[in-house]
Structure 1
Amino acid sequence: MIRKLTGAAMALAAITAIAPARAETGDSLSIPLSTSTDIQRQTVAYTCKAKKGASSAKLRAVLPEKIVKVSYINAGDISLAVLRIDGKTQIFTNVIAASGAKYAAAEYVWWSKGDDAMFSSEMDASAMLTCHEIKG
């Protein structure tokens, strides 16, 4: 589902999508935008599996246990992916990619293309998860 939000609604869009309890306590994120900027938000649910190996299993443990929900927020030149890492909201920003949409935050990379995504750590090249969108 893609929704258009006003510039004022962007202030809490990233946080309330993933962590409504924190937003209620007054914590928020605000990104100033011109009033003419169209904002689109889409939340997608994924199931993620670790490739063989202990490092991939360790990486899998930083994501939510069963379903990984990702909020994609696009506002003009700003493209973000918001997801929970180790129980905390992380805001990933879009970076250059050969294909698909690649996002980075801290040591982590979220790379989506079509119905699939990959989650990896820049700290361990052997750790990688494959994720698939849950339809319906």
Structure 2
Amino acid sequence: MKSLLFAALALSGAAAIAKPLSLPEIPAGQRQVVNYVCADGAKLKVKYYNAKNGQSFAVLPIAGKTLLLSNVVSGSGAKYAAEQYSWWTKGPEGTLRDEIADKVLLGDCKESRR
């Protein structure tokens, strides 16, 4: 089974330009794909990965590129972060923010069954 790290790098295109990493493989665990429809009508597909070692990740398109966000501490719900972006979910709802600009990029996103 491919490691979660290798799969994430391949998704982002970074594997083509990055030097090989000497990190131990992160054994993949559960994967879930969730589709969201946001307040402005935007559709967002988020892939969630829960590694066997307890780490959690979200892969989603932001600003024209696919990013791997890592789970970080949150007062409630689940929060993922990478670069200046955060994806926060609570139940079936989510919000994508640019933390540097202090701006909501996609708000009031709700899980879609379609």
Shorter chain as denominator, the TM-score bin is 0.7 to 0.9
**TM-score, length-normalised on structure 1?**
0.64
Deviating above 6 A after TM superposition, structure 1's stretches of 4 or more consecutive aligned residues are: 28-31
Equivalent position SS for 1:98: coil
* Unaligned runs of at least 5 residues, structure 1: 1-5, 51-64
Equivalent position SS for 2:24: coil
1:33 Cα offset (Å)? 3.1
- On the 8 A contact 1:15/1:89 being kept in 2, the answer is no
**TM-score, length-normalised on structure 2?**
0.74
Indicate the structure (1 or 2) with the bigger Cα radius of gyration: 1
Aligned residues with identical type, % of pairs: 37
Q: Distance in 2 between matches of 1:67 and 1:32?
A: 35
- Aligned pair partner of 1:80 in 20, 32, 57: 57
Per the alignment, residue 132 of structure 1 pairs with 110
Higher percent of residues as helix:
1
Tell me the matched-pair count. Answer: 109
1:13 Cα offset (Å)? 3.6
Q: What's the RMSD between the two structures over aligned residues?
A: 2.9
Per the alignment, residue 96 of structure 1 pairs with 73
Which AA in structure 2 matches 1:83?
L
- Aligned pair partner of 1:108 in 82, 85, 101: 85
